[in-house]
Structure 1
Amino acid sequence: MTTTSSTNILRVVLWMTGTLLSFSLMAVSIRELSRGGLTIFEILAIRSGAVLVVVVLLLLVRPELRAAARPRRMKLNLLRNIVHYVSQFAWAYAVTMLPLAMVFALEFTMPAWTALLAVWLLSEKMSKSRAGVVVLGLVGVLVILRPGIASIQPAAFLVLAAAFGYAITMITTKQLTTTESTIGIVFWMAVIQFPLSLFGSDLSAFTHFQAHNILPAIGLGIGGVTSHYCLSNAFRSGDATLVVPLDFMRIPLIAVVGWLLYGETLDVFVFIGAIIIIAGVVWNLRAESAQAKALA
Structure 2
Amino acid sequence: MSAAISTHHSTLFSAAWMGGTMLSFVTMAVAVRELSADLGTFQILAIRSFIGLLCISAILSRMGWQQLSLRNIKLHLIRNLAHFCGQFGWFYAIAFIPLAAVFALEFTVPIWTAMFAAVLLAERITRVRGLAIVLGIAGVLVILQPGFEMMHPAALVMLGGAIAFGLSHTLTKKLTGSDSSLSILFYMMLIQLPLGLLPAVFDWVTPTAAHWPWLLLVGLTGLSAHYCMVRALSLADATLVIPMEFLRLPLIALVGYALYGEHIDGFLALGAALILTGNVINLMWERKKTRKRRLI
**TM-score bracket for the superposition, by shorter chain length:** over 0.9
The residue that corresponds to 1:43 in the other structure is: 44
Distance in structure 1 (CA, Å) of the matches to 2:150 and 2:228: 37
Once the two structures are superposed, the pairs formed by residues 163-178 of structure 1 within 5 Å of their partners are 163-178=162-177
Deviations 1:19-68 (A, max 9, x none): 11100111111111111x211111001211111011110111223xx111
AA matched with 2:59: L
The residue that corresponds to 1:249 in the other structure is: 247
User: Contact 2:33–2:95 at 8 Å: present in 1 too?
Assistant: yes
User: Contact 2:40–2:203 at 8 Å: present in 1 too?
Assistant: no
TM-score normalised to the size of structure 1? 0.93
The residue that corresponds to 2:106 in the other structure is: 107
Cα 1:151/1:54, change in 2 over 3 Å? closer
User: Contact 1:50–1:224 at 8 Å: present in 2 too?
Assistant: no
Cα 1:211/1:146, change in 2 over 3 Å? same
Q: Which of 204, 213, 216 pairs up with 2:214?
A: 216
The residue that corresponds to 1:229 in the other structure is: 227
Cα 1:290/1:84, change in 2 over 3 Å? same
Deviations 1:54-106 (A, max 9, x none): 1110111223xx11122321110100011111111121101101100000001
AA matched with 1:231: M
User: Contact 1:50–1:225 at 8 Å: present in 2 too?
Assistant: no
Distance in structure 1 (CA, Å) of the matches to 2:17 and 2:266: 29
Distance in structure 1 (CA, Å) of the matches to 2:158 and 2:169: 16
User: Contact 1:12–1:237 at 8 Å: present in 2 too?
Assistant: yes
Q: Which of 2, 5, 12 pairs up with 1:3?
A: 5
The residue that corresponds to 2:26 in the other structure is: 24
Distance in structure 2 (CA, Å) of the matches to 1:210 and 1:241: 43
Q: Are positions 1:262 and 2:287 aligned together?
A: no
User: Contact 1:97–1:155 at 8 Å: present in 2 too?
Assistant: yes
Counting aligned pairs with the same residue, the percent is 41
Once the two structures are superposed, the pairs formed by residues 2-151 of structure 1 within 5 Å of their partners are 2-35=4-37, 37-63=38-64, 66-148=65-147
User: Contact 1:71–1:180 at 8 Å: present in 2 too?
Assistant: no
The number of aligned residues is: 292
Distance in structure 2 (CA, Å) of the matches to 1:145 and 1:29: 25
The residue that corresponds to 2:286 in the other structure is: 288
- Deviation at residue 205 of structure 1 after TM alignment: 4.5
Distance in structure 2 (CA, Å) of the matches to 1:148 and 1:34: 26
- Deviation at residue 151 of structure 1 after TM alignment: 6.3
Deviations 1:103-152 (A, max 9, x none): 00011011111111121111111211110111000111122223356562
SS of corresponding position for 1:211: coil
User: Contact 1:41–1:198 at 8 Å: present in 2 too?
Assistant: yes
User: Contact 1:49–1:194 at 8 Å: present in 2 too?
Assistant: yes
Consecutive aligned runs of 4 or more in structure 1 exceeding 6 Å deviation? none
Distance in structure 2 (CA, Å) of the matches to 1:90 and 1:121: 23
AA matched with 1:152: M
Distance in structure 1 (CA, Å) of the matches to 2:148 and 2:190: 45
Runs of at least 5 residues in structure 1 that lack an aligned partner in the other structure: none
TM-score normalised to the size of structure 2? 0.93
User: Contact 1:80–1:173 at 8 Å: present in 2 too?
Assistant: yes
SS of corresponding position for 1:97: coil
AA matched with 1:257: V
User: Contact 2:89–2:159 at 8 Å: present in 1 too?
Assistant: no
